Amino acid sequence: MSLIEFKNVSKIYRLGEVEIPALDGVDFAIEEGEFVVVLGASGAGKSTILNILGGMDTATGGEVNVAGDDITKYNAKQMTLYRREKVGFVFQFYNLITNLNALENVEFAASVTQNHLDPAKTLDDVGLSERAKNFPSQLSGGEQQRVAIARAIAKNPLLLLCDEPTGALDYKTGKMVLKLLENVNAEYKKTVVLITHNSAIAPMADKVIHVKSGKVEAIDINENRMSVDSIEW
């Protein structure tokens, strides 16, 4: 059984009397330890997939199985527990807690999780042990994103979900962040799901899920995954 299975998943947003379908019968599976890129243009539905998978939103129909459990059946409490124990998020705009310094941000995430990693070591792993006492406002964008990754890893989650993690970064910093995610996938054996509109990133994934107009258009398997070092955009 795959670690993640989306079965005929649909999502409809209702704005008054208007129904806007965001996902329409999405099916895919992700295996444990895979690096998956969900690729699509703006409005294709990739963020909706990530939100549903991360327990931040609920599907209107279908099944979302994560490690054998259908998370669409979860109530609010179970969903909170799911986010707490199973998911690590990395956002485009980092979303660090501004009033906590770098180390405290990581420690905070670890503190809500039972089976967490050592926050200081995790921060060191992303190369920011020197900036541990700095607040987000004292860090560059790339550094903030690395803290966000450390925060996600420190929870020792089953899944690492990344929403356009390089969207707000320059080329060089973006590459550095991707490299970090690649290492996390390799060293921590974490399943990474990264959504992006940048197709140049696709070659670094084990699996590429192409999304268009709320449907899965294609799923590509990269037999020979490329290192991010050799990817240019």
Partner 1 sequence: MVGGMKYILLKTFRDIRETIGSFISILVVIFIGCFFFAGIIEATSAVTKQVDGYAADLNTASARAAYMYVNSAAVDEIGEAEGVKLAAGYNTFYAKLKGTRTDVTLTTLTPDIDKPDVLRGKLPERKKDDGFIEIIVDKVYAEAHKIKLGDTMELTVDTLDRIELPSMNMSYKKLDYKCRVSGIYHAIDVLYKVDVMNTAATAEEFVMAMVNVEDVPLFTDTAGIYSGANPILPFSSLEQAGITVYNGIRTLGTPENAKEVFGAYTVDTEDAEQALKQIQDMLKNPSAAAGLFVNVMEFDEYPAVVAYDGINDAISALAAVLPFIFFAVAAAITVISLSKTVDNQRMQIGVIQAIGVGKGAVYFSYIFYALFACVIGGLTGGIVGTYTVPYLLEFIYEGQFAMPPTPLDIGVLYLFLGVVVAAALACVSAFLSCHRTLKAVPAQAMRPKPPKKTKRILAERWTGLWKRLGFGAKMNLRNMFLHKIRMLLSSVGIVGCLALLIGLVGLKDNMAFSFNHYDAQSGYDMAVYLLDAADVAAEYAKMEESGTVEKLTFVPAFSAKFTHGKKSADQTVMALPSADDVRKYEYCDVDCVKLYTDMSQKTRLKLKTDTFAIPEYLADKLDVKAGDVVTISGRALDGKTAEFDVKVTDIVYEYFEQKAYCSYGFFEERGIALAADTAYVNAARDAEINAVAKKIENAEGVRGVQTFRESFGILEDRMSLLDYAVILFVIGAGVLAVAVIYNITATNLKERTREIATLMVLGYKKRETANMLIVENMVITAIGCLLGLPLGFLLLKWLVGVTETFGVFISSFMSWYTALGCMALTFLFSLVATMFLNRKMKKISMVEALKSVE
| Residue ranges binding partner 1 (CB under 8 A) | 47, 51, 54, 56-57, 76-77, 80-81, 83-85, 87, 89, 91, 93, 95-101, 104, 107-109, 111-113, 135-138, 151, 155
Choice between 91 and 188, CB closer to partner 1: 91
Choice between 101 and 185, CB closer to partner 1: 101
The DSSP line for the chain is --SEEEEEEEEEEEETTEEEEEEEEEEEEE-TT-EEEEEE-TTSSHHHHHHHHTTSS--SEEEEEETTEEGGG--HHHHHHHHHHHEEEE-TT----TTS-HHHHHHHHHHT-TT---HHHHHHHTT-GGGTT--GGGS-HHHHHHHHHHHHHHT--SEEEEESTTTTS-HHHHHHHHHHHHHHHHHS--EEEEEES-GGGGGGSSEEEEEETTEEEEEEE-SSPPPGGG---
Q: Report the nearest approach of partner 1 to the CB of residue 176 (Å).
A: 21
Q: Report the nearest approach of partner 1 to the CB of residue 203 (Å).
A: 28
Q: Report the nearest approach of partner 1 to the CB of residue 102 (Å).
A: 11
Q: Report the nearest approach of partner 1 to the CB of residue 231 (Å).
A: 27
Please list the residues that pair with 23 across neighbouring strands: 11
Q: How far apart are CA 88 and CA 214, in angstroms?
A: 24
> Phi/psi of residue 192, each to 5°?
-115, 130
Q: Report the nearest approach of partner 1 to the CB of residue 209 (Å).
A: 20
Choice between 27 and 104, CB closer to partner 1: 104
Choice between 109 and 216, CB closer to partner 1: 109
Q: Report the nearest approach of partner 1 to the CB of residue 150 (Å).
A: 13
